[in-house]
């Protein structure tokens, strides 16, 4: 297991960060909230639209499952592809193709066109994952949780506002088509922002698996005099070589994905899977459980969910100070946030009073926001030789497995009790904590130490 075989290597402080970090253009932070704003406007309306097209619940479920399966297999492939062809090119391609999918969704007049429209979105809707890989390329290791936290916070802002606007538009005549059009326009604007985003020239130092220093250049044109000493990079990763064939890219993608799949990082991804399932089980029957246990109306339940989402967004801004408090020890932050998540879910599942539910929701919002950022940072630290795009993509595939399993697990647990899903989630969270503890008893590094797998 990766966490069992860790050694530390002292480095000069300058090798840890160049300056403090290579900051992305400010316009880049306007991209995630608009992306999720557009998506969250339309996603809550999909089931209603399928019903209006005459689809049965079974047909709607099959289409939804096919979308999840596409996301499961495409996230790691697209992430690895972004390592090969460059972040900018892959990001623009994903945004534009997704925009076409949402545009086709808006003009769907039958269920067949609707199903076809979900295919390009299912395959290429990975713009946020590629954006995270782009940020991880630019940020130095100790600043990465802070940068990722701000990115997640910005993303959450769009997710909070989107359903409200989408619900309002849905009440108008032709509201779904209007919502789809707005979503398409937002994606096209995002593609334009990425296209005009200023290119950044900087050098970063990384360490290859053989511990040799390699220079990366971001968005630099090929320089023949440097080829023997450096990798020419586009947006932090390998350039789009015009001579490279599509077949060559496919082979490279296959090698990178299988390299991660058969690496010793399985324990990290298992921790991610267990924690993802535990949190999704918490939310799987939240509205129904609130109604049965506390007789809450859907409107009040919606306010409580929005409250948690808002706190989660604010928690993203706390990653910088929190990282300094923990002396940039990502493993300890992840362990402590997982423990807090476990207790929050457990307390919610047995809470006799509404104020206890609100209190547990408050702590859960902070712990899950911090935990999501820490697990990504840990994956990037331990598997840096595989490429950030590939690692983030595989991580998204792992989470997609959880999305497929949760409906079944939640249904079985609800046969036992309305509190069954969160109680099962608490058990899985405890299992992930035990796995972290057994896999690695001592994991820490400071700004003068770099974590390396032995």
Closest CA to 132 of 149, 113, 107: 149
Radius of gyration of the chain (CA): 22
Contact 382, 451 (CB under 8 A): yes
- Judgement on whether residues 263 and 335 belong to the same structural domain of the protein: yes
Pairwise CA distance, residues 184 & 407, whole Å: 30
Pairwise CA distance, residues 236 & 87, whole Å: 7
Residue entry with tokens 């799987």? 284
Cα angle for residues 372, 17, 368 (degrees, 5° grid): 10
- Judgement on whether residues 220 and 304 belong to the same structural domain of the protein: no
Tell me the average pLDDT of the chain.
77
* First CA to last CA distance, the chain: 11
% of the chain exceeding 70 in pLDDT: 79
Tell me how long the chain is: 454
pLDDT of residue 164: 77
Pairwise CA distance, residues 31 & 159, whole Å: 13
Q: Is residue 251 part of a domain?
A: no
Q: Is residue 254 part of a domain?
A: no
Could you tell me the residue range of the domain that residue 211 belongs to? 203-245
- Judgement on whether residues 174 and 207 belong to the same structural domain of the protein: no
Mapping DSSP to helix (H, G, I), strand (E, B) and coil, where does residue 366 land?
Answer: helix
- Judgement on whether residues 75 and 118 belong to the same structural domain of the protein: yes
- Judgement on whether residues 161 and 210 belong to the same structural domain of the protein: no
Pairwise CA distance, residues 212 & 206, whole Å: 8
Residue 218 host element (H or E): strand 213-218
Mapping DSSP to helix (H, G, I), strand (E, B) and coil, where does residue 357 land?
Answer: helix
Burial class (CB in 10 A: 0-12, 13-18, 19+), 148: buried
Q: Is residue 427 part of a domain?
A: yes
pLDDT of residue 1: 52
pLDDT of residue 84: 86
Residue 377 host element (H or E): helix 354-382
- Judgement on whether residues 194 and 209 belong to the same structural domain of the protein: no
- Is the alpha carbon torsion for 53, 56, 57, 60 positive or negative? negative
Q: What is the largest CA-CA distance in the chain?
A: 71
**Structure letter (DSSP) for residue 242:** T
Torsion of CA 110, 112, 118, 123, to 10 degrees: -160
Pairwise CA distance, residues 396 & 246, whole Å: 24
Pairwise CA distance, residues 93 & 74, whole Å: 14
Structure token pair of residue 235 = 């947006």
Q: Which residues pair with 9 in a beta bridge?
A: 450
Contacts (Cβ under 8 Å, ≥6 apart) of 130: 78, 79, 82, 87, 90, 91, 94, 389, 392
Q: Is residue 12 part of a domain?
A: yes
DSSP class per residue in 8-32:
EEE--HHHH-SSS--PPPGGGGGHH
Pairwise CA distance, residues 436 & 388, whole Å: 22
Q: Could you tell me the CATH number of the domain that includes residue 87? A: 1.20.1250.20
- Judgement on whether residues 193 and 235 belong to the same structural domain of the protein: no
**Structure letter (DSSP) for residue 231:** E
Task: Count CB neighbours of 379 within 10 A.
Answer: 25
Task: Count CB neighbours of 128 within 10 A.
Answer: 20
pLDDT of residue 24: 58
- Judgement on whether residues 318 and 447 belong to the same structural domain of the protein: yes
Cα of 401 vs its chain's centroid, Å: 14
Q: Is residue 252 part of a domain?
A: no
Q: Is residue 14 part of a domain?
A: yes
pTM recorded for the entire structure: 0.72
- Judgement on whether residues 85 and 210 belong to the same structural domain of the protein: no
pLDDT of residue 113: 92
- Judgement on whether residues 190 and 222 belong to the same structural domain of the protein: no
Q: Is residue 107 part of a domain?
A: yes
pLDDT of residue 165: 82
Closest CA to 334 of 283, 361, 368, 360: 368
Spans in the chain with pLDDT lower than 70: 1-30, 198-244, 298, 440-454
Pairwise CA distance, residues 268 & 274, whole Å: 10
From 245, 267, 300, the end of a domain falls on 245
pLDDT of residue 236: 42
Looking at the structure of the chain, the number of domains it has is 2
- Judgement on whether residues 121 and 57 belong to the same structural domain of the protein: yes
- Judgement on whether residues 279 and 370 belong to the same structural domain of the protein: yes
Q: Is residue 98 part of a domain?
A: yes
């Amino acid at each position: 297991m990766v966490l069992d075989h860790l050694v530390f290597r002292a480095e000069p402080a300058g090798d840890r960060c160049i300056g403090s970090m290579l900051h992305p253009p400010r316009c880049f932070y306007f991209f995630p909230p608009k992306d999720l704003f557009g998506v969250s406007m339309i996603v809550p309306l999909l089931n209603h639209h399928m019903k209006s097209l005459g689809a049965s619940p079974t047909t709607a479920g099959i289409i939804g499952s096919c979308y999840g399966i596409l996301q499961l297999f495409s996230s790691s492939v697209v992430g690895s592809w972004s390592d090969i062809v460059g972040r900018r090119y892959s990001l623009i391609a994903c945004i534009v193709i997704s925009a076409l999918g949402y545009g086709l969704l808006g003009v769907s007049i039958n269920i067949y066109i609707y199903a076809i429209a979900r295919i390009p979105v299912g395959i290429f809707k990975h713009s946020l994952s590629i954006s995270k890989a782009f940020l991880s390329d630019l940020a130095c290791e100790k600043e990465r949780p802070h940068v990722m936290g701000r990115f997640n916070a910005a993303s959450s802002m769009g997710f909070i506002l989107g359903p409200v606007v989408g619900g309002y538009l849905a009440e108008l005549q032709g509201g779904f088509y209007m919502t789809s059009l707005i979503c398409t326009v937002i994606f096209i604007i995002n593609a334009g922002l990425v296209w005009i985003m200023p290119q950044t020239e900087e050098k970063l130092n990384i360490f290859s698996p053989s511990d040799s220093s390699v220079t990366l250049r971001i968005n630099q044109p090929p320089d023949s005099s440097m080829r023997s000493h450096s990798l020419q990079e586009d947006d932090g990763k390998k350039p789009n070589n015009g001579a490279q064939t599509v077949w060559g890219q496919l082979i490279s993608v296959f090698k990178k994905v299988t390299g991660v799949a058969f690496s010793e990082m399985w324990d990290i991804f298992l921790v991610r899977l267990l924690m993802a399932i535990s949190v999704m089980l918490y939310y799987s029957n939240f509205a129904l459980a609130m109604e049965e246990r506390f007789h809450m109306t859907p409107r009040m339940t919606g306010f409580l969910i929005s409250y948690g989402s808002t706190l989660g967004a604010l928690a993203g801004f706390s990653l910088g100070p929190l990282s300094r408090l923990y002396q940039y020890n990502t493993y300890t932050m992840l362990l402590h946030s997982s423990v807090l998540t476990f207790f929050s879910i457990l307390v919610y599942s047995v809470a006799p009073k509404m104020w206890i539910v609100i209190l547990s929701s408050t702590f859960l919002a902070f712990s899950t926001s911090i935990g999501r950022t820490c697990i990504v940072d840990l994956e990037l630290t331990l598997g840096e030789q595989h490429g950030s795009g590939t690692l983030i993509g595989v991580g998204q595939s792992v989470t997609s497995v959880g999305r497929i399993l949760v409906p079944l697990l939640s249904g079985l647990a609800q046969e036992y009790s309305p509190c069954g899903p969160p109680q099962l989630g608490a058990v899985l969270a405890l299992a992930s904590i035990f796995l972290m503890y057994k896999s690695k008893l001592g994991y820490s590094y400071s700004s003068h130490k770099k974590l390396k797998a032995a």
